[in-house]
Structure 1
Amino acid sequence: MPEPPQLNCTFLHPTFFILTGIPGLRGAQTWLTLAFGPMYMLALLGNGALLAVVRVDPMLHQPMFLLLAMLAATDLGLASSVAPGLLAVLWFGPQPVPYAACLVQMFFVHALTAMESGVLLAMACDRAVAVGRPLHYPILVTKARVGYTALALALKAVAIVVPFPLLVARFEHFRAKTIGHAYCAHMAVVELVVGNTRANNLYGLALSLAVSGVDILGITGSYGLIAHAVLQLPTREARAKAFGTCSSHICVILAFYIPGLFSYLTHRFGHHTVPKPVHILLSNIYLLLPPALNPLIYGIRTKQIRDRLLETLTFRKSQF
Protein backbone atom coordinates (compact mmCIF):
# COMPACT_ATOMS: atom_id res chain seq x y z
CA MET A 1 0.00 0.00 0.00
CA PRO A 2 1.42 3.43 -0.90
CA GLU A 3 2.65 5.56 1.92
CA PRO A 4 0.26 8.23 3.23
CA PRO A 5 0.99 11.82 2.24
CA GLN A 6 3.48 13.63 4.39
CA LEU A 7 2.85 16.97 5.99
CA ASN A 8 4.61 20.22 5.04
CA CYS A 9 6.10 18.92 1.79
CA THR A 10 5.35 19.05 -1.89
CA PHE A 11 5.46 16.38 -4.57
CA LEU A 12 6.92 16.89 -8.02
CA HIS A 13 4.60 15.31 -10.59
CA PRO A 14 3.42 12.44 -8.34
CA THR A 15 3.25 9.08 -10.07
CA PHE A 16 -0.08 8.37 -8.37
CA PHE A 17 -2.87 9.90 -6.32
CA ILE A 18 -4.83 8.17 -3.56
CA LEU A 19 -8.62 8.28 -3.74
CA THR A 20 -10.11 8.20 -0.25
CA GLY A 21 -13.80 7.90 -1.10
CA ILE A 22 -16.17 9.91 1.07
CA PRO A 23 -14.37 11.56 3.99
CA GLY A 24 -16.17 11.34 7.30
CA LEU A 25 -18.08 8.19 6.36
CA ARG A 26 -15.23 5.72 6.69
CA GLY A 27 -17.17 3.26 8.81
CA ALA A 28 -20.24 3.40 6.56
CA GLN A 29 -18.50 3.35 3.19
CA THR A 30 -18.75 -0.42 2.81
CA TRP A 31 -22.50 -0.23 3.29
CA LEU A 32 -22.77 2.35 0.52
CA THR A 33 -21.79 -0.37 -1.96
CA LEU A 34 -25.28 -1.80 -1.32
CA ALA A 35 -26.67 1.38 -2.91
CA PHE A 36 -24.11 2.20 -5.59
CA GLY A 37 -23.54 -1.41 -6.67
CA PRO A 38 -27.18 -2.02 -7.73
CA MET A 39 -27.24 1.43 -9.37
CA TYR A 40 -24.31 0.48 -11.56
CA MET A 41 -25.73 -2.95 -12.41
CA LEU A 42 -29.06 -1.35 -13.31
CA ALA A 43 -27.27 1.19 -15.50
CA LEU A 44 -25.35 -1.58 -17.30
CA LEU A 45 -28.31 -3.90 -17.80
CA GLY A 46 -30.93 -1.25 -18.52
CA ASN A 47 -28.94 0.82 -20.99
CA GLY A 48 -27.47 -2.29 -22.58
CA ALA A 49 -30.98 -3.67 -23.12
CA LEU A 50 -32.17 -0.38 -24.63
CA LEU A 51 -29.24 -0.30 -27.05
CA ALA A 52 -29.84 -3.93 -28.02
CA VAL A 53 -33.57 -3.39 -28.60
CA VAL A 54 -33.02 -0.30 -30.76
CA ARG A 55 -30.30 -2.10 -32.74
CA VAL A 56 -32.21 -5.30 -33.53
CA ASP A 57 -35.65 -3.81 -34.23
CA PRO A 58 -35.80 -1.97 -37.61
CA MET A 59 -39.06 -0.32 -36.52
CA LEU A 60 -37.09 1.60 -33.89
CA HIS A 61 -34.56 3.00 -36.37
CA GLN A 62 -36.26 6.39 -36.13
CA PRO A 63 -34.82 9.71 -34.91
CA MET A 64 -36.58 9.62 -31.55
CA PHE A 65 -35.23 6.17 -30.69
CA LEU A 66 -31.80 6.88 -32.13
CA LEU A 67 -31.55 9.85 -29.77
CA LEU A 68 -32.60 7.53 -26.95
CA ALA A 69 -29.86 5.09 -27.97
CA MET A 70 -27.39 8.00 -27.92
CA LEU A 71 -28.49 8.82 -24.38
CA ALA A 72 -28.15 5.17 -23.33
CA ALA A 73 -24.62 4.94 -24.77
CA THR A 74 -23.64 8.14 -22.94
CA ASP A 75 -25.12 6.79 -19.71
CA LEU A 76 -23.14 3.56 -20.08
CA GLY A 77 -19.91 5.48 -20.53
CA LEU A 78 -20.62 7.89 -17.68
CA ALA A 79 -21.50 5.19 -15.18
CA SER A 80 -18.53 3.02 -16.21
CA SER A 81 -16.09 5.92 -15.89
CA VAL A 82 -16.98 6.37 -12.21
CA ALA A 83 -18.57 3.27 -10.69
CA PRO A 84 -15.75 0.65 -10.83
CA GLY A 85 -13.28 2.92 -9.02
CA LEU A 86 -15.96 4.16 -6.63
CA LEU A 87 -16.97 0.63 -5.63
CA ALA A 88 -13.30 -0.38 -5.18
CA VAL A 89 -12.70 2.57 -2.84
CA LEU A 90 -15.88 1.97 -0.86
CA TRP A 91 -15.22 -1.76 -0.47
CA PHE A 92 -11.43 -1.98 -0.09
CA GLY A 93 -10.59 1.47 1.27
CA PRO A 94 -8.33 4.19 -0.23
CA GLN A 95 -6.97 3.18 -3.62
CA PRO A 96 -3.99 4.50 -5.62
CA VAL A 97 -4.66 5.73 -9.14
CA PRO A 98 -1.83 6.55 -11.58
CA TYR A 99 -1.39 10.22 -12.37
CA ALA A 100 -2.14 9.77 -16.09
CA ALA A 101 -5.16 7.57 -15.36
CA CYS A 102 -6.50 10.26 -13.03
CA LEU A 103 -6.32 12.85 -15.82
CA VAL A 104 -7.99 10.45 -18.25
CA GLN A 105 -10.83 9.78 -15.81
CA MET A 106 -11.20 13.53 -15.25
CA PHE A 107 -11.60 14.03 -19.01
CA PHE A 108 -14.17 11.27 -19.51
CA VAL A 109 -16.31 12.17 -16.50
CA HIS A 110 -16.64 15.82 -17.51
CA ALA A 111 -16.89 15.15 -21.26
CA LEU A 112 -19.64 12.56 -20.86
CA THR A 113 -21.52 14.83 -18.46
CA ALA A 114 -21.42 17.61 -21.09
CA MET A 115 -22.43 15.07 -23.75
CA GLU A 116 -25.46 13.95 -21.72
CA SER A 117 -26.61 17.53 -21.24
CA GLY A 118 -26.33 18.11 -24.99
CA VAL A 119 -28.28 14.93 -25.79
CA LEU A 120 -31.10 16.04 -23.48
CA LEU A 121 -31.22 19.36 -25.35
CA ALA A 122 -31.35 17.53 -28.69
CA MET A 123 -34.19 15.35 -27.42
CA ALA A 124 -36.10 18.44 -26.26
CA CYS A 125 -35.72 20.00 -29.71
CA ASP A 126 -36.89 16.73 -31.29
CA ARG A 127 -40.05 16.73 -29.14
CA ALA A 128 -40.67 20.42 -29.91
CA VAL A 129 -40.67 19.70 -33.65
CA ALA A 130 -42.77 16.53 -33.23
CA VAL A 131 -45.46 18.35 -31.23
CA GLY A 132 -45.29 21.79 -32.85
CA ARG A 133 -44.86 20.78 -36.50
CA PRO A 134 -45.90 17.13 -36.80
CA LEU A 135 -46.49 17.28 -40.57
CA HIS A 136 -42.97 18.57 -41.21
CA TYR A 137 -41.30 16.28 -38.66
CA PRO A 138 -40.19 13.55 -41.14
CA ILE A 139 -38.54 16.22 -43.30
CA LEU A 140 -36.95 18.31 -40.54
CA VAL A 141 -35.74 15.45 -38.32
CA THR A 142 -33.98 12.65 -40.21
CA LYS A 143 -31.60 9.85 -39.27
CA ALA A 144 -28.77 11.64 -41.06
CA ARG A 145 -29.33 14.80 -39.02
CA VAL A 146 -29.39 12.76 -35.83
CA GLY A 147 -26.00 11.34 -36.82
CA TYR A 148 -24.60 14.82 -37.48
CA THR A 149 -25.98 15.94 -34.13
CA ALA A 150 -24.25 13.05 -32.34
CA LEU A 151 -20.95 13.92 -34.02
CA ALA A 152 -21.31 17.62 -33.21
CA LEU A 153 -22.12 16.93 -29.55
CA ALA A 154 -19.15 14.56 -29.21
CA LEU A 155 -16.75 17.07 -30.80
CA LYS A 156 -18.10 19.87 -28.61
CA ALA A 157 -17.70 17.80 -25.44
CA VAL A 158 -14.12 16.91 -26.35
CA ALA A 159 -13.19 20.48 -27.30
CA ILE A 160 -14.52 22.12 -24.14
CA VAL A 161 -13.26 19.48 -21.69
CA VAL A 162 -9.72 18.89 -23.04
CA PRO A 163 -8.48 22.06 -21.24
CA PHE A 164 -9.31 20.50 -17.86
CA PRO A 165 -6.52 17.87 -17.81
CA LEU A 166 -4.20 20.23 -19.69
CA LEU A 167 -4.68 22.97 -17.09
CA VAL A 168 -3.87 20.47 -14.34
CA ALA A 169 -0.91 18.91 -16.19
CA ARG A 170 0.88 22.28 -16.39
CA PHE A 171 1.43 22.25 -12.61
CA GLU A 172 4.61 20.61 -11.36
CA HIS A 173 4.10 20.65 -7.59
CA PHE A 174 1.31 19.23 -5.43
CA ARG A 175 0.95 19.63 -1.67
CA ALA A 176 -0.44 16.11 -1.20
CA LYS A 177 -1.18 12.88 -3.04
CA THR A 178 -4.47 12.19 -1.30
CA ILE A 179 -7.66 13.26 -3.12
CA GLY A 180 -10.60 13.59 -0.74
CA HIS A 181 -13.02 12.23 -3.31
CA ALA A 182 -14.18 8.98 -4.89
CA TYR A 183 -13.05 9.90 -8.41
CA CYS A 184 -10.70 12.41 -10.06
CA ALA A 185 -12.97 15.43 -10.26
CA HIS A 186 -11.27 18.52 -11.68
CA MET A 187 -11.68 20.75 -8.63
CA ALA A 188 -10.75 17.95 -6.22
CA VAL A 189 -7.39 17.62 -7.96
CA VAL A 190 -6.91 21.39 -8.24
CA GLU A 191 -7.23 21.67 -4.45
CA LEU A 192 -3.91 19.79 -4.16
CA VAL A 193 -2.01 22.07 -6.52
CA VAL A 194 0.78 24.34 -5.31
CA GLY A 195 0.51 27.48 -7.43
CA ASN A 196 -1.95 29.92 -8.94
CA THR A 197 -5.12 28.01 -9.86
CA ARG A 198 -7.14 31.06 -10.90
CA ALA A 199 -7.32 29.91 -14.53
CA ASN A 200 -8.63 26.49 -13.47
CA ASN A 201 -11.26 28.03 -11.21
CA LEU A 202 -12.44 30.55 -13.81
CA TYR A 203 -12.55 28.02 -16.63
CA GLY A 204 -14.45 25.52 -14.47
CA LEU A 205 -17.00 28.16 -13.49
CA ALA A 206 -17.36 29.51 -17.03
CA LEU A 207 -17.75 26.03 -18.49
CA SER A 208 -20.41 25.01 -15.96
CA LEU A 209 -22.42 28.17 -16.57
CA ALA A 210 -22.00 28.10 -20.34
CA VAL A 211 -22.74 24.41 -20.96
CA SER A 212 -25.46 23.78 -18.40
CA GLY A 213 -26.88 27.29 -18.69
CA VAL A 214 -27.18 27.21 -22.49
CA ASP A 215 -28.60 23.68 -22.49
CA ILE A 216 -31.14 24.50 -19.76
CA LEU A 217 -32.22 27.64 -21.61
CA GLY A 218 -32.57 25.61 -24.82
CA ILE A 219 -34.62 22.92 -23.07
CA THR A 220 -36.81 25.56 -21.41
CA GLY A 221 -37.38 27.28 -24.75
CA SER A 222 -38.25 23.97 -26.42
CA TYR A 223 -40.81 23.14 -23.76
CA GLY A 224 -42.20 26.66 -24.02
CA LEU A 225 -42.89 25.96 -27.70
CA ILE A 226 -44.33 22.56 -26.80
CA ALA A 227 -46.65 24.09 -24.19
CA HIS A 228 -47.80 26.71 -26.69
CA ALA A 229 -48.55 24.06 -29.32
CA VAL A 230 -50.32 21.76 -26.83
CA LEU A 231 -52.58 24.53 -25.51
CA GLN A 232 -53.77 25.24 -29.06
CA LEU A 233 -55.06 21.70 -29.56
CA PRO A 234 -58.88 21.53 -29.63
CA THR A 235 -59.63 18.72 -27.13
CA ARG A 236 -58.38 17.67 -23.72
CA GLU A 237 -57.63 14.17 -25.03
CA ALA A 238 -55.43 15.55 -27.77
CA ARG A 239 -53.59 17.79 -25.31
CA ALA A 240 -53.04 14.87 -22.90
CA LYS A 241 -51.74 12.64 -25.72
CA ALA A 242 -49.35 15.32 -27.00
CA PHE A 243 -48.04 16.05 -23.53
CA GLY A 244 -47.72 12.31 -22.80
CA THR A 245 -45.14 11.96 -25.58
CA CYS A 246 -42.87 14.31 -23.57
CA SER A 247 -43.46 12.95 -20.07
CA SER A 248 -40.55 10.47 -20.14
CA HIS A 249 -38.14 13.14 -21.31
CA ILE A 250 -39.29 15.53 -18.58
CA CYS A 251 -38.61 12.87 -15.92
CA VAL A 252 -35.12 12.25 -17.34
CA ILE A 253 -34.35 15.99 -17.38
CA LEU A 254 -35.39 16.36 -13.74
CA ALA A 255 -33.36 13.29 -12.71
CA PHE A 256 -30.24 14.75 -14.37
CA TYR A 257 -30.40 18.47 -13.64
CA ILE A 258 -31.87 18.64 -10.12
CA PRO A 259 -29.11 16.59 -8.39
CA GLY A 260 -26.52 18.24 -10.68
CA LEU A 261 -27.58 21.79 -9.85
CA PHE A 262 -27.81 21.01 -6.14
CA SER A 263 -24.34 19.45 -6.18
CA TYR A 264 -22.93 22.41 -8.12
CA LEU A 265 -24.49 25.02 -5.82
CA THR A 266 -23.33 23.26 -2.65
CA HIS A 267 -19.80 23.05 -4.04
CA ARG A 268 -19.60 26.66 -5.23
CA PHE A 269 -21.59 28.49 -2.57
CA GLY A 270 -22.40 26.12 0.28
CA HIS A 271 -19.01 24.59 1.13
CA HIS A 272 -19.07 26.41 4.49
CA THR A 273 -22.56 25.21 5.41
CA VAL A 274 -22.90 21.84 3.63
CA PRO A 275 -20.54 19.15 5.02
CA LYS A 276 -17.99 17.87 2.52
CA PRO A 277 -19.15 14.22 2.83
CA VAL A 278 -22.65 15.32 1.81
CA HIS A 279 -21.32 17.17 -1.23
CA ILE A 280 -19.17 14.23 -2.37
CA LEU A 281 -22.03 11.79 -1.81
CA LEU A 282 -24.34 14.00 -3.90
CA SER A 283 -21.78 14.28 -6.70
CA ASN A 284 -21.59 10.49 -6.97
CA ILE A 285 -25.38 10.14 -6.87
CA TYR A 286 -25.58 12.77 -9.62
CA LEU A 287 -23.34 10.70 -11.90
CA LEU A 288 -24.91 7.27 -11.20
CA LEU A 289 -28.60 7.91 -10.53
CA PRO A 290 -29.61 9.19 -14.02
CA PRO A 291 -27.91 6.30 -15.88
CA ALA A 292 -29.75 3.89 -13.58
CA LEU A 293 -33.16 5.59 -13.85
CA ASN A 294 -33.23 6.58 -17.53
CA PRO A 295 -33.71 3.07 -18.96
CA LEU A 296 -36.45 2.38 -16.40
CA ILE A 297 -38.24 5.60 -17.28
CA TYR A 298 -38.11 5.01 -21.02
CA GLY A 299 -38.63 1.27 -20.75
CA ILE A 300 -41.82 1.73 -18.73
CA ARG A 301 -43.27 4.85 -20.37
CA THR A 302 -42.37 4.31 -24.05
CA LYS A 303 -44.84 1.86 -25.56
CA GLN A 304 -42.70 0.69 -28.50
CA ILE A 305 -39.73 -0.15 -26.29
CA ARG A 306 -41.89 -1.73 -23.60
CA ASP A 307 -43.68 -3.93 -26.13
CA ARG A 308 -40.39 -4.98 -27.78
CA LEU A 309 -38.85 -5.89 -24.43
CA LEU A 310 -41.93 -7.90 -23.45
CA GLU A 311 -41.86 -9.73 -26.80
CA THR A 312 -38.19 -10.60 -26.29
CA LEU A 313 -38.75 -11.86 -22.73
CA THR A 314 -41.85 -13.86 -23.76
CA PHE A 315 -39.97 -15.43 -26.69
CA ARG A 316 -37.04 -16.44 -24.46
CA LYS A 317 -39.38 -17.97 -21.85
CA SER A 318 -41.18 -20.01 -24.54
CA GLN A 319 -37.86 -21.57 -25.56
CA PHE A 320 -37.31 -23.14 -22.16
Structure 2
Amino acid sequence: MKIKIILLMLTIVSVNQFKLYAKFSAEQNGKVKNNITYIPVQYKTVLVDGLNIFYREAGEITKPTIILLHGFPSSSHMYRNLITELAGNYHVIAADYPGFGQSSAPTPEKYQYTFDNLSVTIEHFIDKLKIKKASFYIQDYGGPVGLRIATRRPELIQSFIIQNANAYVEGLGEILKPLTAYIENQNAETEKAARFFLTLDATKWQYLTGAENSESIAPESYIVDQYYLDRAGNDVIQLALFRDYGSNIALYEKWHQYFAKYQPPMLVIWGKNDQFFTSPGANAYKKDNPSAEIHFVNGGHFALEEHYSEVSKLIINFLSKKIK
Protein backbone atom coordinates (compact mmCIF):
# COMPACT_ATOMS: atom_id res chain seq x y z
CA MET A 1 0.00 0.00 0.00
CA LYS A 2 2.81 2.40 0.92
CA ILE A 3 4.51 1.70 -2.39
CA LYS A 4 1.29 2.45 -4.28
CA ILE A 5 0.86 5.75 -2.42
CA ILE A 6 4.45 6.72 -3.16
CA LEU A 7 4.05 5.82 -6.84
CA LEU A 8 0.81 7.83 -6.99
CA MET A 9 2.53 10.84 -5.42
CA LEU A 10 5.44 10.56 -7.84
CA THR A 11 3.00 10.40 -10.73
CA ILE A 12 1.21 13.55 -9.55
CA VAL A 13 4.53 15.37 -9.13
CA SER A 14 5.65 14.25 -12.60
CA VAL A 15 2.42 15.43 -14.20
CA ASN A 16 2.66 18.80 -12.47
CA GLN A 17 6.29 19.14 -13.48
CA PHE A 18 5.36 18.34 -17.06
CA LYS A 19 2.61 20.98 -17.00
CA LEU A 20 5.04 23.55 -15.64
CA TYR A 21 7.62 22.62 -18.26
CA ALA A 22 5.04 22.83 -21.04
CA LYS A 23 3.93 26.25 -19.80
CA PHE A 24 7.54 27.42 -19.59
CA SER A 25 8.31 26.13 -23.09
CA ALA A 26 5.25 27.85 -24.51
CA GLU A 27 6.25 31.12 -22.90
CA GLN A 28 9.80 30.85 -24.17
CA ASN A 29 8.56 30.17 -27.70
CA GLY A 30 6.26 33.16 -27.64
CA LYS A 31 3.02 31.20 -27.38
CA VAL A 32 1.22 32.19 -24.21
CA LYS A 33 2.14 34.47 -21.34
CA ASN A 34 -0.31 35.90 -18.84
CA ASN A 35 -3.16 34.88 -21.15
CA ILE A 36 -1.71 37.04 -23.97
CA THR A 37 -0.59 35.49 -27.24
CA TYR A 38 2.97 36.38 -28.20
CA ILE A 39 4.33 35.66 -31.66
CA PRO A 40 8.10 35.28 -31.96
CA VAL A 41 9.94 37.65 -34.29
CA GLN A 42 12.39 36.22 -36.80
CA TYR A 43 15.47 38.12 -37.94
CA LYS A 44 16.37 37.42 -41.55
CA THR A 45 18.54 38.59 -44.42
CA VAL A 46 17.80 38.24 -48.12
CA LEU A 47 19.95 39.09 -51.15
CA VAL A 48 18.37 41.85 -53.26
CA ASP A 49 20.21 43.27 -56.26
CA GLY A 50 23.51 42.18 -54.75
CA LEU A 51 22.74 43.72 -51.35
CA ASN A 52 22.03 41.96 -48.07
CA ILE A 53 18.70 43.37 -46.85
CA PHE A 54 17.99 42.66 -43.21
CA TYR A 55 14.40 42.40 -42.04
CA ARG A 56 12.20 41.44 -39.11
CA GLU A 57 9.24 39.17 -39.74
CA ALA A 58 6.46 37.89 -37.53
CA GLY A 59 2.95 36.46 -37.90
CA GLU A 60 1.41 33.92 -40.25
CA ILE A 61 2.00 34.51 -43.96
CA THR A 62 -1.63 33.55 -44.65
CA LYS A 63 -2.79 36.69 -42.83
CA PRO A 64 -2.86 40.20 -44.36
CA THR A 65 0.61 41.68 -44.70
CA ILE A 66 1.77 44.98 -43.21
CA ILE A 67 5.10 46.38 -44.42
CA LEU A 68 6.69 48.81 -41.98
CA LEU A 69 8.97 51.40 -43.60
CA HIS A 70 11.25 53.21 -41.17
CA GLY A 71 12.43 56.79 -40.90
CA PHE A 72 15.69 58.65 -40.31
CA PRO A 73 17.95 57.97 -38.51
CA SER A 74 16.39 54.68 -37.50
CA SER A 75 15.92 51.17 -38.87
CA SER A 76 13.47 48.30 -38.42
CA HIS A 77 14.44 48.55 -34.75
CA MET A 78 11.96 51.43 -34.36
CA TYR A 79 9.13 48.93 -34.97
CA ARG A 80 10.26 46.31 -32.44
CA ASN A 81 7.32 46.94 -30.09
CA LEU A 82 4.66 47.47 -32.76
CA ILE A 83 5.60 44.22 -34.49
CA THR A 84 4.83 42.15 -31.40
CA GLU A 85 1.51 43.97 -30.96
CA LEU A 86 0.39 43.31 -34.55
CA ALA A 87 1.81 39.85 -35.23
CA GLY A 88 -1.14 38.01 -33.73
CA ASN A 89 -3.44 39.49 -36.38
CA TYR A 90 -1.14 40.16 -39.34
CA HIS A 91 1.93 39.06 -41.25
CA VAL A 92 4.36 41.87 -40.36
CA ILE A 93 7.61 42.75 -42.13
CA ALA A 94 10.08 45.56 -41.42
CA ALA A 95 13.26 45.93 -43.49
CA ASP A 96 16.35 48.09 -43.11
CA TYR A 97 17.17 50.26 -46.15
CA PRO A 98 20.64 50.06 -47.67
CA GLY A 99 22.93 52.16 -45.50
CA PHE A 100 20.71 51.68 -42.43
CA GLY A 101 20.58 49.15 -39.62
CA GLN A 102 21.85 45.67 -40.45
CA SER A 103 21.50 45.93 -44.24
CA SER A 104 24.43 46.36 -46.59
CA ALA A 105 25.94 49.84 -46.65
CA PRO A 106 27.99 50.10 -49.84
CA THR A 107 29.85 53.33 -50.52
CA PRO A 108 28.11 55.99 -52.65
CA GLU A 109 30.47 55.00 -55.46
CA LYS A 110 28.87 51.54 -55.49
CA TYR A 111 25.26 52.45 -54.65
CA GLN A 112 23.44 55.67 -55.46
CA TYR A 113 21.85 56.93 -52.26
CA THR A 114 18.70 58.60 -53.53
CA PHE A 115 15.12 58.09 -52.46
CA ASP A 116 14.35 56.77 -55.93
CA ASN A 117 16.99 54.09 -55.53
CA LEU A 118 15.97 53.16 -51.98
CA SER A 119 12.41 52.70 -53.20
CA VAL A 120 13.53 50.47 -56.07
CA THR A 121 15.57 48.30 -53.70
CA ILE A 122 12.64 47.94 -51.29
CA GLU A 123 10.26 47.21 -54.18
CA HIS A 124 12.59 44.43 -55.34
CA PHE A 125 12.77 43.21 -51.72
CA ILE A 126 8.97 42.97 -51.65
CA ASP A 127 9.00 41.05 -54.92
CA LYS A 128 11.73 38.73 -53.62
CA LEU A 129 9.42 37.82 -50.72
CA LYS A 130 6.61 37.24 -53.25
CA ILE A 131 4.26 39.70 -51.57
CA LYS A 132 1.43 40.62 -53.92
CA LYS A 133 -0.58 42.93 -51.68
CA ALA A 134 0.16 44.76 -48.44
CA SER A 135 -0.66 47.67 -46.20
CA PHE A 136 2.22 50.14 -45.92
CA TYR A 137 3.07 51.76 -42.60
CA ILE A 138 5.20 54.79 -43.45
CA GLN A 139 7.08 57.08 -41.07
CA ASP A 140 9.47 59.91 -42.01
CA TYR A 141 11.75 58.51 -44.80
CA GLY A 142 9.25 55.68 -45.13
CA GLY A 143 6.92 58.21 -46.77
CA PRO A 144 9.00 58.99 -49.87
CA VAL A 145 10.08 55.35 -50.14
CA GLY A 146 6.57 53.90 -49.83
CA LEU A 147 4.78 56.52 -51.92
CA ARG A 148 7.20 56.04 -54.80
CA ILE A 149 6.44 52.32 -54.77
CA ALA A 150 2.70 53.01 -54.57
CA THR A 151 2.66 55.30 -57.60
CA ARG A 152 4.57 52.68 -59.62
CA ARG A 153 2.58 49.71 -58.29
CA PRO A 154 -0.88 50.84 -57.15
CA GLU A 155 -2.13 47.25 -57.30
CA LEU A 156 0.29 46.35 -54.49
CA ILE A 157 -1.32 48.69 -51.93
CA GLN A 158 -4.16 47.54 -49.68
CA SER A 159 -4.00 50.57 -47.40
CA PHE A 160 -1.73 53.23 -45.96
CA ILE A 161 -0.95 53.81 -42.30
CA ILE A 162 0.83 57.15 -42.18
CA GLN A 163 2.69 58.28 -39.08
CA ASN A 164 4.58 61.59 -39.15
CA ALA A 165 5.43 61.28 -42.84
CA ASN A 166 4.80 64.38 -44.95
CA ALA A 167 3.33 64.49 -48.44
CA TYR A 168 2.27 68.16 -48.31
CA VAL A 169 4.17 71.42 -47.80
CA GLU A 170 1.82 72.03 -44.89
CA GLY A 171 3.46 70.69 -41.80
CA LEU A 172 7.11 71.08 -42.80
CA GLY A 173 8.56 72.40 -39.53
CA GLU A 174 10.97 75.27 -39.01
CA ILE A 175 13.51 72.84 -37.59
CA LEU A 176 14.11 71.60 -41.16
CA LYS A 177 15.57 74.94 -42.31
CA PRO A 178 19.25 73.88 -41.95
CA LEU A 179 18.56 70.89 -44.20
CA THR A 180 16.69 73.07 -46.68
CA ALA A 181 19.66 75.45 -46.79
CA TYR A 182 22.01 72.51 -47.43
CA ILE A 183 19.80 71.25 -50.28
CA GLU A 184 19.64 74.67 -51.91
CA ASN A 185 23.24 75.78 -51.39
CA GLN A 186 25.86 73.15 -50.62
CA ASN A 187 28.95 74.63 -49.03
CA ALA A 188 31.09 74.14 -45.93
CA GLU A 189 28.81 76.25 -43.75
CA THR A 190 25.51 74.60 -44.74
CA GLU A 191 27.10 71.14 -44.54
CA LYS A 192 28.29 71.83 -41.01
CA ALA A 193 24.74 72.77 -39.99
CA ALA A 194 23.36 69.66 -41.69
CA ARG A 195 25.89 67.45 -39.94
CA PHE A 196 24.38 68.40 -36.60
CA PHE A 197 21.52 66.03 -37.44
CA LEU A 198 24.04 63.16 -37.42
CA THR A 199 25.11 63.73 -33.80
CA LEU A 200 23.96 62.00 -30.64
CA ASP A 201 22.50 65.27 -29.35
CA ALA A 202 20.29 65.53 -32.41
CA THR A 203 19.25 61.87 -32.37
CA LYS A 204 18.37 62.02 -28.69
CA TRP A 205 16.51 65.28 -29.30
CA GLN A 206 14.36 63.62 -31.97
CA TYR A 207 13.27 60.93 -29.56
CA LEU A 208 12.71 63.05 -26.47
CA THR A 209 11.32 66.32 -27.83
CA GLY A 210 7.55 66.28 -27.78
CA ALA A 211 7.34 63.05 -25.83
CA GLU A 212 4.45 62.83 -23.41
CA ASN A 213 6.86 61.52 -20.79
CA SER A 214 10.55 61.51 -21.71
CA GLU A 215 11.21 59.00 -18.91
CA SER A 216 9.22 56.41 -20.85
CA ILE A 217 11.62 56.58 -23.83
CA ALA A 218 14.06 53.67 -23.66
CA PRO A 219 17.63 54.99 -24.04
CA GLU A 220 18.54 52.13 -26.39
CA SER A 221 16.18 53.63 -28.97
CA TYR A 222 18.46 56.54 -29.76
CA ILE A 223 21.68 54.75 -28.75
CA VAL A 224 21.08 52.03 -31.36
CA ASP A 225 20.34 54.63 -34.05
CA GLN A 226 23.49 56.54 -33.16
CA TYR A 227 25.60 53.40 -33.32
CA TYR A 228 24.68 52.98 -36.97
CA LEU A 229 25.13 56.68 -37.75
CA ASP A 230 28.62 56.63 -36.24
CA ARG A 231 29.90 53.84 -38.48
CA ALA A 232 32.79 54.86 -40.71
CA GLY A 233 31.49 56.34 -43.96
CA ASN A 234 27.85 56.49 -42.89
CA ASP A 235 27.94 60.27 -42.69
CA VAL A 236 28.59 60.43 -46.44
CA ILE A 237 25.57 58.19 -47.05
CA GLN A 238 23.27 60.32 -44.89
CA LEU A 239 24.47 63.59 -46.42
CA ALA A 240 23.73 62.22 -49.88
CA LEU A 241 20.15 61.51 -48.80
CA PHE A 242 19.86 64.95 -47.20
CA ARG A 243 20.86 66.51 -50.54
CA ASP A 244 18.29 64.39 -52.37
CA TYR A 245 15.41 65.24 -50.04
CA GLY A 246 14.22 68.00 -52.35
CA SER A 247 13.25 65.30 -54.88
CA ASN A 248 10.50 64.24 -52.47
CA ILE A 249 8.88 67.67 -52.37
CA ALA A 250 9.01 67.77 -56.16
CA LEU A 251 6.85 64.63 -56.20
CA TYR A 252 4.18 65.89 -53.83
CA GLU A 253 1.78 66.77 -56.66
CA LYS A 254 2.21 63.33 -58.21
CA TRP A 255 1.40 61.72 -54.87
CA HIS A 256 -1.68 63.93 -54.48
CA GLN A 257 -2.89 62.74 -57.86
CA TYR A 258 -2.37 59.15 -56.76
CA PHE A 259 -4.42 59.74 -53.57
CA ALA A 260 -7.22 61.40 -55.55
CA LYS A 261 -7.35 58.70 -58.22
CA TYR A 262 -7.05 55.55 -56.12
CA GLN A 263 -8.41 56.74 -52.75
CA PRO A 264 -6.45 54.09 -50.84
CA PRO A 265 -7.82 53.34 -47.37
CA MET A 266 -5.77 55.69 -45.22
CA LEU A 267 -5.16 55.81 -41.48
CA VAL A 268 -3.15 58.85 -40.40
CA ILE A 269 -1.65 58.64 -36.89
CA TRP A 270 0.43 61.64 -35.84
CA GLY A 271 2.63 62.50 -32.91
CA LYS A 272 1.10 65.92 -32.43
CA ASN A 273 4.22 67.43 -30.82
CA ASP A 274 6.54 66.58 -33.72
CA GLN A 275 8.67 69.59 -34.69
CA PHE A 276 9.89 68.09 -37.98
CA PHE A 277 6.48 67.28 -39.40
CA THR A 278 3.84 69.28 -37.59
CA SER A 279 0.12 68.59 -37.21
CA PRO A 280 -1.05 70.44 -40.37
CA GLY A 281 0.81 67.77 -42.35
CA ALA A 282 -1.58 65.16 -40.97
CA ASN A 283 -4.76 67.09 -41.71
CA ALA A 284 -3.58 67.85 -45.26
CA TYR A 285 -4.16 64.23 -46.33
CA LYS A 286 -7.90 64.87 -46.31
CA LYS A 287 -7.52 67.34 -49.19
CA ASP A 288 -7.05 64.54 -51.73
CA ASN A 289 -8.46 61.63 -49.74
CA PRO A 290 -11.47 62.94 -47.77
CA SER A 291 -12.15 59.54 -46.21
CA ALA A 292 -8.73 59.48 -44.50
CA GLU A 293 -9.08 58.64 -40.81
CA ILE A 294 -6.90 60.93 -38.69
CA HIS A 295 -5.79 60.47 -35.08
CA PHE A 296 -3.33 62.44 -32.96
CA VAL A 297 -1.34 60.98 -30.10
CA ASN A 298 0.46 62.94 -27.41
CA GLY A 299 3.97 62.26 -28.65
CA GLY A 300 6.73 63.49 -30.90
CA HIS A 301 8.44 62.34 -34.09
CA PHE A 302 9.00 58.81 -32.76
CA ALA A 303 5.58 58.47 -31.17
CA LEU A 304 5.73 54.66 -31.25
CA GLU A 305 8.24 54.67 -28.41
CA GLU A 306 5.45 55.61 -26.01
CA HIS A 307 2.25 54.86 -27.87
CA TYR A 308 2.84 51.59 -29.75
CA SER A 309 -0.01 49.87 -27.88
CA GLU A 310 -2.47 52.68 -28.64
CA VAL A 311 -1.32 52.78 -32.25
CA SER A 312 -1.67 49.02 -32.67
CA LYS A 313 -5.28 49.17 -31.48
CA LEU A 314 -6.03 51.93 -34.00
CA ILE A 315 -4.45 49.86 -36.77
CA ILE A 316 -6.30 46.65 -35.88
CA ASN A 317 -9.63 48.48 -35.66
CA PHE A 318 -9.01 50.30 -38.94
CA LEU A 319 -7.86 47.27 -40.94
CA SER A 320 -10.67 45.09 -39.57
CA LYS A 321 -13.07 47.45 -41.38
CA LYS A 322 -11.03 48.01 -44.53
CA ILE A 323 -9.19 44.75 -45.27
CA LYS A 324 -11.12 41.55 -45.72
For this structure pair, what is the TM-score category when the shorter chain's length is used for normalisation? Answer: under 0.3
Q: Which has the higher helix share?
A: 1
Q: TM-score, normalised by structure 1?
A: 0.27
Q: TM-score, normalised by structure 2?
A: 0.27
Q: Which has the higher strand share?
A: 2
